[in-house]
Amino acid sequence: MINARLIPGYISLGEKFVAAMEPFVYKKFLDYSSIEDLKDMKTRLDQLEKKRDVKLGKGGIREIEFFVQALALVNGGEIKYIRENNTLKALGKLEAAHLITPQIRRTLSDSYLFLRKVEHNIQLADERQTHKLPSSPDDLEKLALRVGVPDRDELERLYKERTAAVSSVYKGLFYEPSQKTEEVGKEFWKAAGFLMEGNLNEEEAIENLNALGFKNPGMAADLLSKLLDAKRGGLTQGGRAATRKVIPAFLASVLKSPDPDLAIVNLERFVSGIGWRTSLYSVLAENPDIIELLVKLFSTSGYLSNFLIRHPEYMDVITLRDVRAEYPSKGEMLAQLHESLAEEDDYGAQLDVLRRFRHVETLKICLRDLNGEVGPFYVGKYLSMVAEAILEAGLEIAWEVVRDKEKHPEKNHKMVVMGMGKLGGKELSYNSDLDVIFIYDGKEEEHMFYSKLGQKVISVLSVPTGEGYAYKIDMGLRPSGRSGALVTSLNAFRKYQQESAQIWERQALVKAAPSAGNEKVGNKIMKLVTEFVYERPIHEGFEKEIKRLRKRMEKEIAAESREKLNIKTGRGGIVDIEF
């Protein structure tokens, strides 16, 4: 049904039929039983493989088409943009949606064009529907010339090169069964074999679990009992077989994790959330690296663990998407957000789009971080780019709502969301709030309108929905702090900085940068910021005031003791470096 399109006939009936079929073809969320069906189809396709067959042979046209269609079926419910019945266009859309890398798109596109050209010229010669390369050297030589290569040897070389490249990509579509999962599981039983002893009493179990690194061995014993329960509700016989491989492998990773107690709590919640999804256990059994990655996540990130536990449908980010296929710029992120938002007419659904985008992109970069593929600087920059794209999209949503409600005459707004602190410095961490200031370039009588716009932006990003919230917004760095107006006009901002701003406010502007909104107004603001921060003389009490402020933060916020250290605001911490 992916390639179905209307041709002459009863068009309105055809349109109704295609619309009715869409939910059947493209499911809203990942369906792991569908993945199992696709894997079965792939296995049958592999068995049909014909040697020297341009279409059905190894690395042939059919493998390219199957690869494209499988990704479309799995992801097309959520990303409508990738729905496409033309193979080459579909590859371009899969790349644009960051489901495949540019290299994979080029490999498959170039190979597809080459193989189609060979196929067409084979059929032109024989005037029949055949896909096999000629066996006769003379016929192969003629085919080479028709295809546009010097001789049959070069044609053979190109054919082998292209089909080998396709086969390599095609093999990576699904994970293959892994013996490693069982081997990893055996590591757990070596360490925790005492759990299999029938006469083990509770006191001995707690003592042994304490020796394995659990700070709360009583809780760990209860959770282990639940996790190792072979009669877990709702599972088929195949599901139970998969869990017998998967759960011990999970637990082996838990024992090696930074925080076994946190890891086992989140693991039990995750397994309970999966419930009867037998096919997901099969996917996990086939890739022990995913199991290890999940445990790293469960033992280090409460925020992302909670997200994945509440929304197991996003396991496709780990199991099927290339987490390295990230957006290279804020512009590309925003383009994807615009496409996703355009598919939703409902305001609430649009808010969910923003939240899902934030969660998925954060999960992707976190997985790379846990794998040691990226460093803190890259993580901070990428998370800041995600936040700026969502701020931009959120401001656009808020503008449409408030402009229509207030019947504002202007086509475009003149407001800027200024990023401060970590956002302005492009140094966000995983669970950072967004420190922002709203500044508009307009008349004082527009203040009420822009106040409502600012309030709506905060609501768009921070109100909880079924997908949680996108970001919490902190306005504490605005002129006059928490007692000041929510939004500030450009003139009022200028006057405040000239007449009322304190030393700490001047210092805070060092990190100020436009994160979203009107670009021209943003340039005006940055010109003022540069003047206030760098071009005015420093008064005599500057050093003393900065030291006083830092000591106050250290005392009131860090509140350190022998037992408690604060790596951010404590003595010698991150804030000292920033100051």
Residue-wise pLDDT for 398-408, tens only, equals: 999 999 998 88
The CATH classification number of 330-536 equals 3.30.460.10
The residue to which tokens 């599972």 are assigned: 235
Burial (Cβ within 10 Å: 0-12, 13-18, ≥19) of residue 115: buried
* pLDDT in the model for residue 197: 54
Q: Which has the minimum average pLDDT: 11-25, 39-53, 161-175, 372-386?
A: 39-53
Residues 6+ apart with CB under 8 A from 122: 54, 130, 131, 132, 133, 134, 143
Residue spans of alpha helices (H) in 476-541: 490-499, 503-508, 519-530
Phi and psi dihedrals of 480, rounded to 5? Answer: 70, 10
Question: Domain 180-301 - what CATH class?
Answer: mainly alpha
Model confidence at 9: pLDDT above 70: yes
* pLDDT in the model for residue 28: 60
Q: Cite the residue boundaries of each domain of the chain with CATH code 1.20.120.1510.
A: 180-301
Model confidence at 30: pLDDT above 90: no
Retrieve residue 314's tokens. 């996003």
What are the Cα distances from residue 535, in Å, to 265, 268, 477, 530, 538? 54, 58, 21, 7, 9
Model confidence at 160: pLDDT above 80: yes
User: If DSSP states are collapsed to H, E and C, what string results for 53-92?
Assistant: ECCCCCCCHHHHHHHHHHHHHHHCCCCHHHCCCCHHHHHH
For the residues of 128-194, what is the DSSP string, one character each? S---BPPSSHHHHHHHHHHHT-SSHHHHHHHHHHHHHHHHHHHHTTSPPP-SHHHHHHHHHHHHSGG
User: If DSSP states are collapsed to H, E and C, what string results for 204-229?
Assistant: HHHHHHHHCCCCCHHHHHHHHHHHCC
- pLDDT per residue as tens digits for the range 302-323: 888 888 888 877 777 676 555 6
Q: How confident is the model at residue 165 (pLDDT cuts 50, 70, 90)?
A: very high
Query: What average pLDDT does the segment 348-369 reach?
Result: 91
Q: Higher-confidence residue: 12 or 362?
A: 362
- In whole angstroms, how large is the CA radius of gyration of the chain? 29
Q: Higher-confidence residue: 478 or 79?
A: 478
Residues in the chain: 579
Query: What average pLDDT does the segment 535-562 reach?
Result: 88
The residue to which tokens 């290339």 are assigned: 322
pTM: 0.71
User: If DSSP states are collapsed to H, E and C, what string results for 295-334?
Assistant: HHHHHHCHHHHHHHHHCHHHHHHHHCCCCCCCCCCHHHHH
Q: How confident is the model at residue 147 (pLDDT cuts 50, 70, 90)?
A: confident
Q: d(Cα 424, Cα 525) in Å, to the nearest integer?
A: 14
Q: Cite the residue boundaries of each domain of the chain with CATH code 3.30.460.10.
A: 330-536
Q: d(Cα 192, Cα 251) in Å, to the nearest integer?
A: 10
Instruction: Give me the percent of the chain exceeding a pLDDT of 90.
Output: 42
Retrieve residue 360's tokens. 């998925």
Model confidence at 516: pLDDT above 90: yes
Specify the DSSP element, H or E, that contains 419: strand 415-419
User: What number of H helices and E strands is found in the chain?
Assistant: 26, 5
Residues 6+ apart with CB under 8 A from 485: 447, 451, 478, 479, 492
- CB contact at 8 A, 454 and 487: yes
Helix, strand or coil, per DSSP, at residue 487: strand
User: What is the separation of C-alpha 206 from the centre of its chain, rounded to a whole number of angstroms?
Assistant: 39
- pLDDT per residue as tens digits for the range 556-566: 899 888 889 99
Helix, strand or coil, per DSSP, at residue 467: coil
Instruction: Give me the percent of the chain exceeding a pLDDT of 70.
Output: 86
- pLDDT per residue as tens digits for the range 183-214: 767 777 777 766 655 555 678 778 888 888 89
Q: Higher-confidence residue: 278 or 272?
A: 272
Q: d(Cα 285, Cα 214) in Å, to the nearest integer?
A: 25
Q: Could you tell me which of 418, 433, 440 has the C-alpha nearest to residue 508?
A: 418
Model confidence at 420: pLDDT above 90: yes
Q: Higher-confidence residue: 434 or 222?
A: 434
Question: Domain 11-171 - what CATH class?
Answer: mainly alpha
Q: Which has the minimum average pLDDT: 189-203, 362-376, 525-539?
A: 189-203
Mean model confidence pLDDT for the chain: 85
* pLDDT in the model for residue 271: 87
- CB contact at 8 A, 162 and 114: yes
Phi and psi dihedrals of 335, rounded to 5? Answer: -60, -45
Q: Cite the residue boundaries of each domain of the chain with CATH code 1.20.120.330.
A: 11-171
Q: How confident is the model at residue 107 (pLDDT cuts 50, 70, 90)?
A: very high
